[in-house]
Amino acid sequence: MRLLPHGMKIGHATVIVDIVPKGNPEIRPGIPMKARGITDHDTGNKGRGADAIAHNKLLHNWGKLPVRDTTHVSWHGAIDEDYIIQHLPFDEPGFHCGDGWGLNSGNRNTIGFEKCMHEGANRTKIEENAIALYAFLMKEMDFPINWIRPHQYWSGKYCPALILNKYGSFLPFRNKIEAAFKSGAAGKPSKPQSIVDYLNAQGQDSSITARAKLAAAYGIKGYVGSEEQNIKLLGFLVVGKPATKPVVKPAEKPKEVKVVVNPIKKTDPNEPSDLAKEHWEEMKANGYLDGTRPHDAMTRQEYAVANNRLRKNLLELINDEEARKARFEKPKK
Ligand SMILES: [Zn+2]
């Protein structure tokens, strides 16, 4: 299975398939993968609104950035109470295991799902959605239960943190997945969420006329309200595409609109990323780098400067021990 069944329901969630286009190989390397199991994650993102839709937008935004502004971080799908959103095909790898790029790495062999943990998240429902999804994929992709692994298995990182906190280990959660798989029921996608229900919940006009207008705005031609068209339209509405989201005037007073906080930050060319900040400041303070252009590639001469400073410091450290020095330093000709 390469793509989840878009529009169907798994657990309590509607499945949305919204694949990140190729372009940035640090987000979508695009090489073939024969998936050997699933790696389970919790996002680690406790922010308000950091739900599956926000994570989908985040990955799509990263996918559009140049490589110098990204790091190797991506995953196949995000799970929250209401949605399971797939961003990478299952026959291509992502970067979610933190264990490198070796042929036997988790990155190169497994499908990665991020379970959301934003403020106010209903984790019971989210866990149930993940269990149903993993049971479904076990069946579809013929995965044995011991191929459902925590991120921790690959790199030692304490992830999925909320699962490990709750159960003390990954095993009790995996047992639930196995039970769901054996029962057969949890792993079956059910009929799609109704677009009429979705629009009503958003306080939007759900009449066929209003839906036809929305469909036209999203490029769905000849809308007659067929199931296929409704599923397609619902997908567009949920992930907010195209970028300018058309709104049809609500029939009545609209309900409060859910605020989605987009966790992506604009990249300042003079500021290192959060990941690199500490190291950047220390290298700067100790004279290895001059503190400019944090996102540029390093030239050979800059490499020589930084490394020679390190070399000189090391030599000074061992200077009075001639025998050890000889091991590190060959005399100049
Ligand atoms: Zn993880």
Could you tell me if 311 and 278 lie in one domain?
Answer: yes
Of 42-46, 140-144, 329-333, give the lowest mean pLDDT range: 329-333
With a cut of 80, say whether residue 326 has pLDDT above it.
Answer: no
Å from CA of 307 to ligand 1 middle: 33
333 vs 327: CA distance, rounded Å: 17
Could you tell me if 135 and 36 lie in one domain?
Answer: yes
* 188 is a domain residue: no
Q: Domain range holding 310?
A: 274-328
Count of helices and strands (H, E) across the chain: 12, 7
- Residue 116 is given by DSSP the state P
* 15 is a domain residue: yes
Q: What is the pLDDT of residues 211-269, one digit of tens each?
A: 999 999 888 889 999 988 998 888 888 887 654 444 444 444 444 444 445 444 446 77
* 202 is a domain residue: yes
* 323 is a domain residue: yes
Could you tell me if 114 and 172 lie in one domain?
Answer: yes
Could you tell me if 248 and 317 lie in one domain?
Answer: no
Look-up of token digits 């020095």 = 325
Query: Directed axis angle between helix 123-141 and helix 171-183, to 10°?
Result: 60
Could you tell me if 260 and 286 lie in one domain?
Answer: no
Query: Directed axis angle between helix 227-239 and helix 208-217, to 10°?
Result: 60
**Residue 112 contacts residue 37 (beta carbons within 8 Å):** no
214 vs 173: CA distance, rounded Å: 41
Å from CA of 300 to ligand 1 middle: 35
**Residue 38 contacts residue 134 (beta carbons within 8 Å):** yes
| pLDDT score recorded for residue 255 | 45
Boundary-marking domain end, from 161, 183, 205: 183
Å from CA of 100 to ligand 1 middle: 14
Q: What pTM was estimated for this model as a whole? A: 0.70
Å from CA of 282 to ligand 1 middle: 27
Å from CA of 113 to ligand 1 middle: 8
Could you tell me if 247 and 282 lie in one domain?
Answer: no
**Residue 185 contacts residue 229 (beta carbons within 8 Å):** no
Could you tell me if 74 and 112 lie in one domain?
Answer: yes
Amino acid of residue 224: V
Could you tell me if 27 and 176 lie in one domain?
Answer: yes
How many domains, in total, are found in the chain?
3
Average pLDDT value for residue range 94-111: 96
- CB burial of residue 89 (10 Å; 0-12, 13-18, 19+): buried
Å from CA of 115 to ligand 1 middle: 9
**Ion ligand 1 residue ranges (Cβ < 5 Å):** 41, 151, 159
Å from CA of 302 to ligand 1 middle: 34
| pLDDT score recorded for residue 184 | 84
| pLDDT score recorded for residue 134 | 97
Look-up of token digits 């020679």 = 308
Boundary-marking domain end, from 267, 289, 304: 267
| pLDDT score recorded for residue 250 | 43
Average pLDDT value for residue range 288-294: 81
Å from CA of 190 to ligand 1 middle: 28
* 333 is a domain residue: no
Higher-confidence residue: 300 or 163? 163
| pLDDT score recorded for residue 298 | 80
Q: What is the CATH number of the domain that holds 79?
A: 3.40.80.10
Average pLDDT, the chain: 87
* 89 is a domain residue: yes
With a cut of 70, say whether residue 73 has pLDDT above it.
Answer: yes
With a cut of 80, say whether residue 92 has pLDDT above it.
Answer: yes
* 3 is a domain residue: no
* 249 is a domain residue: yes
Q: What is the pLDDT of residues 168-211, one digit of tens each?
A: 999 999 999 999 999 987 667 887 778 999 999 889 999 999 99
Could you tell me if 171 and 211 lie in one domain?
Answer: no
**Residue 54 contacts residue 87 (beta carbons within 8 Å):** no
Rg (CA), the chain: 24
How many residues in the chain? 333
Å from CA of 35 to ligand 1 middle: 17
Could you tell me if 149 and 59 lie in one domain?
Answer: yes
Could you tell me if 153 and 290 lie in one domain?
Answer: no
Q: Strand 148-150 and strand 77-79: pairing?
A: unpaired
Could you tell me if 260 and 278 lie in one domain?
Answer: no
What beta strand segments (E) does the chain contain? Answer: 9-10, 13-17, 38-42, 77-79, 83-86, 111-115, 148-150
Å from CA of 196 to ligand 1 middle: 36
| pLDDT score recorded for residue 21 | 95
